[in-house]
Chain A
Amino acid sequence: MRTLTARVLLLVITATVLHGCKQFSLADANVLQKGMQAGAVLAVVAKGPQDSYEITLPSDTTMRFHVMVFRMHVGNSKGDYYAAFRNDSLFYWGYPYEWNRHPDSIIREVGLQTTSVRARDAGIRY
């Protein structure tokens, strides 16, 4: 009986440790496709977003986006990684620096607005 309890305990500890090791990586970003629903994205990535925001564009308040902020792990570096949905359809994804330099002004504005809201709500400053 004691051996069985020890085995169950070991299994629970192992499962907890393995779950804690899951990370969002380039392998996750590479399976994302334009038009995916938010639920489908969450189902395919190894680790869900650190934060999520509802973003409204200051230049056009009818344009609303749901933005997931993942923590991307590449080698020994970590960085924020945004995925934005419009009407539950994946619109664009990438590092904040990729949003900021994009030729499309809407993509630039969503990225900057997310960074601004994140700084205000979570106290994260770049």
Chain B
Amino acid sequence: MTRSLLCSALGGAMLIPACGPTYLTFDDAARLRIGAPRQQVLQSLPLRPSEQYQLHESDLHIDAYPLHLVTVVSITWVRTGPNAAFTPHAKEHPEKFLLLYKADTLRYWGTATDFARSEDSAITSIAPDIHRRLFPGKD
């Protein structure tokens, strides 16, 4: 009895981390402040970055998060054998939300479009580099 209770509790505890958020929301992004240290930002957000990039300048660093916005799902029909029926395979393409750090201090954030249309010329100048990293081969 005690063993089964213990097993259930352990099983539950192992499941909890898997139930955490898998996407960043715009309300999460409202916590971001210019000049915040990277460590503080990592602690304030509910998930870890899914990708990281070092930009051409050595002290510029990007953390990318999947953004809960419109999840585009592309469906391809795959036939698994000569007599098998075609079955749909869905693939999600979530939007990415990017945080730019300069020397480990938060400098700017947003989607790739936000970088390209920024009012700050220092940000728009690195937008093509970000675009190349996010969408390789789409120049």
Q: Which one, B25, B30, B34, B68, contacts A108 given CB within 8 A?
A: B34
Q: Determine the distance from Cα of A35 to Cα of B29 in the docked complex, in whole angstroms.
A: 27
B32-A74 in contact (CB<8A): no
Residues of A close to B28: CB separation below 8 A: 126
Interface residues of B in 1-33 (CB under 8 A from A): 25-33
* Chain A CB within 8 A of B101 CB: no
Digitize B25-48: 1 where CB-to-A-CB distance is under 8 Å, 0 elsewhere: 111111111100000000000000
- B71 part of interface (Cβ distance < 8 Å): yes
Known: A102-B119, A103-B119. A97 touches B30 (CB 8 A): yes
Instruction: Say yes or no for B120: interface residue by CB 8 A criterion.
Output: yes
A102 to B28, CA, bound (A): 17
* A91 CB–B CB distance under 8 Å: no
Q: Are A101 and B69 in contact (CB under 8 A)?
A: no
The interface residues of chain A, by DSSP majority, are classed as: mixed
The 0/1 profile, CB within 8 Å of B marked 1, for residues 67-96 of chain A is 000001011111110000000000000011
Contact of B69 among A77, A96, A98, A108 (CB under 8 A): A77
At the interface, yes or no: B110 with Cβ under 8 Å from chain A? yes
Interface of B is mostly: mixed
Interface residues on A, range: 20 to 34
Query: A101-B32, A101-B108 given as contacts; is B119 within 8 A of A79 (CB)?
Result: no
A56 sits at the interface (CB 8 A): no
Contact A101 B109 (CB under 8 A): yes
- Complex contact B119–A95 (CB within 8 A): no
1/0 per residue, CB under 8 A from B, across A42-84: the answer is 0000000000000000000000000000001011111110000
Query: Besides the contacts A72-B26, A126-B28, what 14 more A-B pairs have beta carbons closer than 8 Å?
Result: A76-B68, A76-B71, A77-B69, A77-B70, A78-B25, A79-B25, A80-B30, A100-B34, A101-B32, A103-B120, A108-B34, A112-B33, A115-B30, A126-B31
Sample 26 A-B pairs with CB under 8 A, ordered by A number. Answer: A72-B26, A74-B69, A75-B69, A75-B71, A76-B70, A77-B68, A77-B70, A78-B25, A79-B25, A79-B26, A79-B27, A80-B26, A96-B26, A96-B27, A97-B26, A97-B30, A97-B110, A100-B32, A101-B32, A101-B34, A101-B110, A108-B34, A112-B33, A115-B30, A126-B30, A126-B31
